[in-house]
Amino acid sequence: MAKKIVIADDEMHILHILALKLRNAGYEVFTAGDGEEALQTCRAQSPDLIIADYQMPYRNGLELCTAYREQTGRRIPSMLITAREHDIRIEDMQSVGVDLVMAKPFSPREVVQAVTTLLEESERKGAA
């Protein structure tokens, strides 16, 4: 079963690049253009991993991850890819449970690698 990934970003070209690369890598990808749409997509699709931008309309990336966790009780790996790296505090990241933050511009290859690694680790932890 292909793993599901939800990507949330209000910049369409980012959504497109990441969807392209991740689908090529064999993942099933769902995209959303703002925090609210992203939350709804997550609730509908039960993804295995979330990639979110920090700054988005309605909910930012951290709020999205928090809301999803609170509403469903699911603790899944998540990563932020953002141009606002400096705005994010480590405490917020840790309390929300975001696993990784990457700054834009990113290397698409590295994102795919990070996704693979996070999913593998999560499986290992789950199996343990």
Site residues, another protein (CB under 8 A): 13, 16-17, 20-21, 23-24, 105-110
Minimum CB separation from another protein for residue 105, in Å? Answer: 5
Smaller CB distance to another protein: residue 10 or 63?
Answer: 10
DSSP 8-class letter at 86 = G
Minimum CB separation from another protein for residue 16, in Å? Answer: 4
Smaller CB distance to another protein: residue 57 or 103?
Answer: 103
From the number of C-beta atoms within 10 Å of its C-beta (0-12, 13-18, 19+), residue 102 rates as: middle
Q: Which two tokens stand for residue 115?
A: 């996704």
From the number of C-beta atoms within 10 Å of its C-beta (0-12, 13-18, 19+), residue 89 rates as: exposed
Minimum CB separation from another protein for residue 127, in Å? Answer: 30
